Amino acid sequence: MTHDPRPFGRLLTAMVTPFAPDGSLDVEGAAKLATYLVDEMRNDALVVSGTTGESPTTTDGEKELLLRVVLDAVGDRARIVAGVGTNNTAHTIELANAAEKAGAHGLLVVTPYYNKPPQAGVERHFRAVADAVGLPIIVYDIPHRAGTAIATETMCRLAEHERIVAVKDAKGDLIASSWVLCRTDLAYYAGDDAATLPLLSIGAVGLVGTSTHFTGPIAKEMIEAYERGDTGGALELHRRALPLFTGIFRAPGTMLVKAGLRARGLPAGPVRSPLVDASAEELDQLRLDAAAAGLTL
């Protein structure tokens, strides 16, 4: 497998999982939301069953059904990446095999969380998953949630595996990311919306976003502007979107994205416990953040 410099395009959204009022999976809503994200928000790819998709509270069966629904809706027009990361290597491999069988185009695998493995365990985990499937893998480095950062040397060794092709980078360490980028051919995607432009400046290729449920066209234009050498235009777009790039995380992003989608009349539904639906005050603030970015919710 040769490494594509942009294996999943420039813009991906970590899609929320729509639920019905009773909390069950909203299959029709998922298809409609995926279509909106590809056709109107200009996404090249979607991540299903990431943390924003409430993967901790969906069953393995629901994850597979959601993946198949999204693939049927937009899989011929966008690449669909299945979130399969857990803190159990064997379970992650089970989810990865199921996603591959369902037709996923790639996998998002997060650092094992809570049990805080040493770097040898982190490397073994990712290699075991990559050895078990034939799909390209995005390594998700998010130490403030996982509890463990992927060290530079570990990431460089993982890059030697032919199926480990990309990183969703939410580490917040530009120097560490820069060292990996100059030593490997991994495709780096920002995992924090507001960090996209800084990461582009050191060699990243795109964004796996949360606010991009609403800011997709702005984010896509910003990336394209930077790539064609219009750094001033990219900076202007970064500053325009910044209120929503950051505001979407005033509360857990899933809560605010779902509130904003409901306000727009799009499928979202409630969140599952232990999350709680955004309050009226939180929605009001989200609307102010959107307005500051020139958008309406």
Q: With contact defined as beta carbons under 8 Å apart, do 41 and 217 qualify? A: yes
- Alpha-carbon distances of 24 from 48, 73, 83, 268, 273, rounded to whole Å: 16, 19, 19, 12, 13
- Cα 269 to chain centroid distance, Å, stands at 20
Q: Which residues contact 264 (CB under 8 A, 6 or more apart)?
A: 297
Which is nearest to 79 in space by CA: 25, 29, 38? 38
Which is nearest to 112 in space by CA: 139, 80, 81, 82? 139
Active site residue 168: yes
Of 63, 168, 171, 220, catalytic:
168
Q: Which residues contact 201 (CB under 8 A, 6 or more apart)?
A: 226
Q: What angle separates helix 60-74 from helix 89-102, to the nearest 10 degrees? A: 30
CA 259, 265, 268, 271 dihedral sign is positive
Query: What beta strand segments (E) does the chain contain?
Result: 11-14, 45-48, 79-83, 106-110, 137-141, 164-169, 187-190, 206-209
Of 36, 140, 188, 226, catalytic:
140
Residues in the chain: 297
Active site residue 63: no
Place of tokens 């395009």: 9
Place of tokens 């432009």: 197
Q: With contact defined as beta carbons under 8 Å apart, do 148 and 116 qualify? A: yes
Omega of the bond prior to 274 within 30 degrees of 0, cis? yes
Enzyme catalytic residues: 140, 168
